[in-house]
């Protein structure tokens, strides 16, 4: 049994990760300030004596004896990370410092949930881990993009200087049950709009592309990365290389919700919105022996089933 700390453990990704680690016989400690996390996501685990939830903000130090740390704490959707951009930067940077300090003290292995947003609006396609990115440091998205880039810098230097055992995962668009209906992400937006018979809103002309991975594929990738040898630190892309235009995604959602009376409308593209996003997962396939297995149509069905239960037309 390992004692594993998950920051952001009541969030969309964190709750599924905690569930999986608990099922494998580990002792899981969930930290969350519940800004975007929810107690509903972890309620079914609270009765398990090997699961513990603590309300805590990672911008403040935390002390515990743990073997591994998954640092997931940070609002990840534009609506939430732009709500308080200074706090978003603090969460990425100070949260990394506090968790790295903890890992250093107790000699724990620590994984940073970084993001494909470190690549910005990429000039290289698909994106490989050696690409430095094209990020606007003063744009509306910079609080998240640059915060995550700074966190990667901190992780690498704690490793070089203090020999902390680190792992860095660059997570690409992930979806599934427990996404927040109002998080502003494209899949939840489209599904909620279709279920409510509201217009499906596409920003730009819909030709921009994204790659979507189902939550169970991501959790598998994160655990495999954590369990690699000390010589492999990453960063490594964890995402589904299947590439779809936003227009194609809207068509799929409408096809899978045939009763919807929604029509597609177009609005102007937000500032610094990337035109292309597709991971090169060659490194993950080699080092983690990992590839995603859930196709988009199957994952969308599971996600739509979840939203049907919580959305009233």
The residues assigned a catalytic role are 144
Cα separations in angstroms, 100 against 25, 81, 88, 112: 25, 22, 18, 10
Mapped to the 3 state alphabet, what secondary structure does 10-78 carry?
CCHHHHHHHHHHHHCCCEEEEEECCCCCCHHHHHHHCCCCCEEEEECCCCCCCCCCCCEEEECCCCCCH
- Per the CB < 8 A criterion, the answer to whether 193 and 185 are in contact is no
The C-alpha atoms of residue 71 and residue 100 are separated, in whole angstroms, by 9
Residue 167 near residue 226, CB atoms below 8 Å? yes
Q: What angle do CA 28, 45, 183 make, to 5 degrees?
A: 95
Helices 142-162 + 85-106 axis angle, to 10: 20
């Amino acid at each position: 049994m390992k004692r594993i700390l998950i920051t952001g453990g009541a969030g969309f990704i964190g709750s599924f990760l905690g569930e999986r680690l608990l099922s494998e016989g580990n002792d899981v400690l969930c930290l969350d300030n519940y800004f975007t996390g929810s107690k509903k996501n972890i309620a079914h685990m609270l009765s398990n004596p090997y699961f513990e939830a603590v309300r805590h903000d990672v911008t403040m130090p935390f002390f515990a004896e743990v073997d591994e740390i998954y640092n997931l704490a940070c609002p990840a959707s534009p609506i939430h990370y732009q709500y308080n951009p200074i706090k978003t930067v603090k969460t990425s940077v100070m949260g990394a410092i506090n968790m790295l300090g903890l890992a250093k003290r107790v000699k724990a292995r620590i994984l940073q949930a970084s993001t494909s947003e470190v690549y910005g609006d990429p000039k290289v396609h698909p994106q490989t881990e050696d690409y430095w990115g094209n990020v606007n440091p003063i744009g509306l998205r910079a609080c998240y993009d640059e915060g995550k880039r700074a966190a990667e810098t901190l992780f690498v230097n704690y490793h070089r200087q203090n020999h902390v055992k680190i792992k860095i995962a660059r997570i690409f668009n992930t979806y599934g049950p427990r996404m927040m209906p109002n998080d502003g992400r494209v899949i939840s937006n489209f599904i909620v709009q279709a279920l409510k018979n509201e217009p499906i809103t596409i920003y730009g002309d819909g030709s921009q592309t994204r790659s979507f991975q189902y939550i169970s594929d991501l959790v598998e990738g994160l655990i495999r990365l954590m369990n690699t040898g000390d010589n492999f630190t990453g960063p490594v892309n964890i995402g589904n290389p299947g590439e779809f235009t936003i227009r194609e995604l809207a068509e799929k959602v409408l096809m899978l919700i045939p009763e919807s009376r929604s029509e597609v409308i177009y609005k102007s593209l937000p500032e610094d919105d990337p035109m292309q996003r597709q991971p090169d997962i060659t490194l993950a396939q080699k080092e983690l022996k990992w590839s995603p297995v859930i196709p988009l149509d199957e994952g969308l069905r599971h996600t739509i089933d979840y939203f049907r239960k919580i959305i009233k037309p």
